[in-house]
Chain A
C-alpha cells in the first residue's frame, strides 16, 4: 500500500533521512520509532509530499506519488501533525470538516461526520463544535487534529505523535478507539510515537530509525526477542525497565539505587 524506496532527504550537508526502504502492506500499521531528530517527521511528510525527497521514491496504492496532483493525494491521505496546526480562524467543527468540504461533501454529511468524530475522540459535539480551537486545552486540540485527519475516511493515514499530549487514561481509551476504527475501515497507517507501550500495542510492525537510517524493522515480538543492536534493545526494554522501577518503588520506597 505504501512503498518507500531508497528515500533520502538532505538539507545541505546534513542528511535527515538516508536511503530508507520500507513497505507497509494494506491494512497494516507501521510504527516509526527513534530518538528526537532521527527523521521520523521528515519521512512522514515525504509520503504525502509536504517535503520533496532528495532521492528515492514513494508509492501509495501502487502509484508513484511524484506523478500525482499533490492536493488529490493529500485529500486521500489523512495527516495528523505533530504541531496539530488547527486553523485559528475556523471553529473546531470547521477544522474537522475541512477535507470533506474540499471534496465537495454536502453540508449535512459534513455536520454529521463532524459530530461522529467529535464523539469518537471523546469531545462533546454540542459544546465543542462551534468553539474556537484556542479555547481548547493542548490535549483537546490534539484530539481535534486526529479527528481532522480521519474526517474524509482516508484509507491511508500518517500520524505524527497523535496522542503525545494526552493523559494516560484518555490515551488508552483513544488507542482502543483507534484500533477499532482501523479494523472497521481497513486503514493503512504510519504512526510516529515515542511511547513504547503505544508502539507495542498498536504496531503490526515497528521500524526503528537512528540518525536517518533504518536500524531494524519487524513485528514487536521479533524486535523484543532479536533486537538488531543495543540501541533497539534499550529502546524496546523501556516498558519493562519502567515496570521494574515501579515495583522497586513499591517494595522499598524511593532510594538512590532504586534502578
Chain B
C-alpha cells in the first residue's frame, strides 16, 4: 500500500492536469457554441446532434481513436495531447446542452423586460440570460466534471499518465491495493471538483460573496498548480528522461521496470515510464519518438506489422527479417534480444489434457465443435489466431474475449476449455495447465526484443550500449518465475525486477 501511495503525487498531478485543462477547454468551446445556437436557430439541431454522436462513442474508443488521428496529422499521438483532446470533446455535450436548455428556458416575459429596459443583445445575454440560465449551465458543468475525472482514468492506455495507471496495472498484476488507491483517489478528486463548482453556484445564487470567493480562489489555485507543473519541464534544463514504455500486462511491467533500473544504474540518466499502453500504441509511440524503449516480440512484428503469415519461420530467420524491416521502414532498432520467447500458445487444464489425450493442437481438431476458448482482448483478432484456425482447420463452439487476468480464473473454473496463453506466463504452472504443441508451426517465434527509437540510437550511445549488454541475459525460466512472483505471489513488478538485476552483477 505505501508503495502505491508513493506514486500518488505523480499520478494525481497528471490526472488533475488532464482533467482541469480538458474541462476548461470543454467549457470554452461549449459555452460560446451554446450561446450561438440560441441565436442562430438552425444551428441547434446539427450542433447538438454532432455533440450527441460524439457522446455515444464509447469513451475508451474515443480516446483510442485520437491516436491514429493525431498521428495522421503529424502531431504528438500518444500521451497528454490525445487524452486531452478526447476528454475535451467528451465534456462538450453536457455543458453545451445545458447552456442551450438554460437560455431557452428563460421566461419570455423576462426576455421582453430585458429588451424593454433598453438592453442591447449583448447586455441581455450577460445581464439576464446567462445569470438566469446559470443554475442549469452549472448542473451541466458538474456532470462534465464528474465524467471527465472518471473517463480520464482511461487515458492510461494511450500513454497519458493518470490515476488509471493504478487501475490498469493493478488489474493486470492482481494488485488490488493499487486498484483501490486509483478508484478512491479518482472518486475523491471528482467529489472535490464537483463540490467546488457547487460552491460557486450556491454562492452566486444566495449572493454569498465569501463562498464564491473561497471556491474561486481554490479553483484558480488548482489551475495555477496545473500550469506550473505542466510548464516546469519546459524550463528545467535537466535532461529529458529516457522514456520506457510498457504494454498492459505483467511481463511488460516487469521488463519496463527492469530496463528502467538497468539504464539508470548503467548510465546514470534519469528515466521514466509510460505504462499500460495499448499494443499498437506502444509501437506508434516509439516510431513517433514519444517513448524511447520498449520490449516487443519478433512474432508480433512479423505477423502484425509485416503482415507475414508464412507458416514455420525459424527463430533466426524471423529475427533477421524483423530487424531489417524495423530499421528500413520505421528507423527503429533492436538493441538486444533478451534470450527468451514469449509465444502465444493454446493451453488446456492438465487433467483435461490427460483425460482426452491432448498434447498437440492437431488433437483439438476432431473435438473442436464441443470446445470453448477464452482469449485476451487481442487474441481472436490477431494474425496468430487466424493462422492457427486456417492451418489446422479448427472450429470451436464458442470464443470468448476476456481480460487476461480473468482468463486463468475462467479456465480453472471450467468456464472455458481452452485459453490463449503466453509461454512465459507463470500461471501456466500455478494453475496446472498444459501448453499444446504447435505441431504444424502455425505460430511464428516470439523472441523478446528491446526496441529503441532512432533518436536514442543516435543521441544516447551509452544507453544503447547498456541495453546491448542485456543480450541473452533472461532465459524463459527466469522470465516465467518473475511473472509468477507478480501474478501469483502478488509482489510488486519493480521489486521483482530489482531482485533480478542484482543477480546480473556489475557487467562493466
Contacts and interface: CB of A to CB of B under 8 A. Distances in A.
A89 B126 CA distance: 12
B111 to A, nearest CB: 9
B353 interface: no
B119 A71 contact: yes
Interface in B102-148: 109-110, 112-120, 123, 127-128, 131-132
Contact of A87 (B115, B120, B123, B128): B128
Contact of B116 (A72, A81, A88): A81
A98 interface: yes
Interface string A76-98: 00010101011111000000001
Given A74-B118, A148-B117, A102 B112 contact: no
A102 B118 contact: yes
B219 to A, nearest CB: 22
Nearest to B205: A89
A85 B120 CA distance: 17
Nearest to B113: A85
B431 to A, nearest CB: 65
A246 interface: no
Contacts of B132: 87-89
Interface in A90-113: 98-99, 102-103
A48 B110 contact: no
B374 to A, nearest CB: 59
A50 B118 contact: no
A72 B117 CA distance: 10
Given A85-B109, A85-B110, A74 B128 contact: no
Nearest to A70: B115
Contacts of B112: 50, 81, 85
Nearest to A98: B117
A98 B119 CA distance: 9
A48 B120 CA distance: 14
A11 to B, nearest CB: 15
Nearest to A89: B131
Interface residues of B, number: 16
Contact of A50 (B110, B116, B119, B131): B116
A74 B113 contact: no
The winner among B118, B123, B131 for most chain A CB atoms within 10 A is B118
Contacts, number: 50
B113 A71 contact: no
A9 interface: no
Contacts of B110: 85, 87-88
A75 interface: yes
B115 A74 contact: yes
A102 B119 contact: yes
Contact of A74 (B116, B127, B131): B116
Contacts of B117: 74-75, 79, 98-99, 102, 148
A83 to B, nearest CB: 5
Nearest to B111: A85
Contacts of A73: 118
A103 B120 CA distance: 11
Contacts of A70: 115
A89 B206 CA distance: 10
Contacts of B131: 89
A68 to B, nearest CB: 12
A48 B116 contact: yes
A135 to B, nearest CB: 13
Given A88-B132, A89-B131, A71 B120 contact: yes
Interface of A: 48, 50, 70-75, 79, 81, 83, 85-89, 98-99, 102-103, 148
22 contacts: A50-B112, A50-B116, A71-B115, A71-B118, A71-B119, A72-B118, A73-B118, A74-B116, A79-B116, A81-B109, A81-B112, A81-B113, A85-B109, A85-B110, A85-B113, A85-B116, A87-B113, A87-B114, A88-B110, A89-B131, A102-B123, A103-B118
Q: Which 4 A-B pairs have the closest CB atoms?
A: A85-B113, A75-B118, A74-B118, A79-B116
